[in-house]
Copies of this chain bind each other. A is one copy, B any other.
Amino acid sequence: MRLSMEKIKGFLLDITGVLYESGSDGGKAIEGSVAAVQRLRDNGYAVRFVSNESQTTREGIMNKLKKHGFQMIKEEIFTPCPAVLKIVRERDLRPFLIVHPDVLPDFEGIGTSNPNCVILGDAVGDFTYENLNKAFRILVGQEKPLLYSLGKGKFYRENDHLTLDVGPFTAALEYACGAEATVVGKPNPEFFLTAVRDLNLQPNEVVMVGDDIESDVGGAQACGIKGILVRTGKYRPENEQHLIKPFAVVNNLAAAVDFVCRL
């Protein structure tokens, strides 16, 4: 046990539900999380923030977190928007976008007329019947429907209630078209591994801390990263009966850092 544990050199941290709880008022930091991130840095652990957040640009996320007292630079944040933009540019695609208005700046300069694919993010109020129908009509006309989903989260907690995430709307279009979306973001292994490569580490030297048993813990463990589940954010007690077994289940990020530092 000790032998394998001494190798942990880097942390991937989910943001919402781990660093802070989101809310229409900007949310609030989870107790102990600001100090926990600082402690990681002080102890020489490399840190990246790996989030399926698609309501805000990386800059917006960074600014929000700085207000809560977290220290970071934009380049440490990994979100699905830059990842899908890379695909769009490489494949010269013209997407129909169902995304949050706040991330539209990321897509500036991308041609969207006569669309030949659909990108679905956490669009919140833009998850309209009309938009979903438009997306469906593009996809159903394609031999191999090109649907990119920015994460496939089921729901998240906001303002003390659970809210549908992008995943259910992706599932709706998948069912309608009889096709499978390409998930850009967690739990896609390539997304985790991009962050691991950026750390200059191997997957088994890294811990992923998240509140989503499937997307965070399951996704990380599927590519050899150890997954720690925290009892904050969208965590629910039945997650501990899930088929996916985390490396550890702890009360919050501070406890996760404690746990790893003591190994």
Residues of A within 8 A of B (CB): 124-125, 127-129, 132-133, 136-137, 140, 154-155, 161-164, 167-169, 171-176, 178
- Nearest chain B CB to A145's CB is how many angstroms away? 13
Query: Given A129-B124, A129-B127, A132-B168, A175–B162 Cβ distance below 8 Å?
Result: no
Residue from B128, B163, B175 in contact with A171 in the complex, judged by beta carbons closer than 8 Å: B175
Name A176's closest neighbour in chain B (CB-CB): B168
In the complex, besides A136-B168, A137-B161, A168-B173, 16 extra interface pairs with C-beta distance below 8 angstroms are: A127-B132, A128-B129, A132-B168, A133-B163, A133-B164, A136-B162, A137-B162, A154-B175, A154-B176, A154-B178, A155-B176, A164-B176, A167-B176, A168-B176, A169-B172, A171-B172
Copies in the complex: 2
* A204: min CB distance to chain B, Å: 30
Of the A-B pairs whose beta carbons lie under 8 Å apart in the complex, a sample of 8, sorted by A's number, is A129-B164, A133-B164, A136-B168, A140-B155, A155-B176, A168-B175, A171-B171, A171-B175
How far is it, in angstroms, between the C-alpha of A215 and the C-alpha of B112 when the chains are bound?
A: 35
Q: Which residue of B lies closest to A140 (CB)?
A: B162
**Residues of chain B lying within 8 A (CB to CB) of residue A172:** 164, 168-169, 171-172
Chain B residues contacting A124 (CB-CB under 8 Å) are: 129
User: Are B125 and A129 interface neighbours, CB within 8 A?
Assistant: yes
A137 vs B176: C-alpha distance when bound (angstroms)? 23
- By a CB distance below 8 angstroms, the chain B residues around A178 are 154
Q: Which residue of B lies closest to A143 (CB)?
A: B238
The 3 closest A-B pairs by CB, nearest first: A171-B175, A168-B172, A172-B172
Which residue of chain B has its CB nearest to the CB of A154? Answer: B176
- Min Cβ gap A30→B in Å is 22
- Please report the C-alpha to C-alpha distance between residue A188 and residue B118 in the assembled complex, in whole angstroms: 32
- Give chain B residues whose Cβ lies under 8 Å from the Cβ of A129: 124-125, 127-128, 164
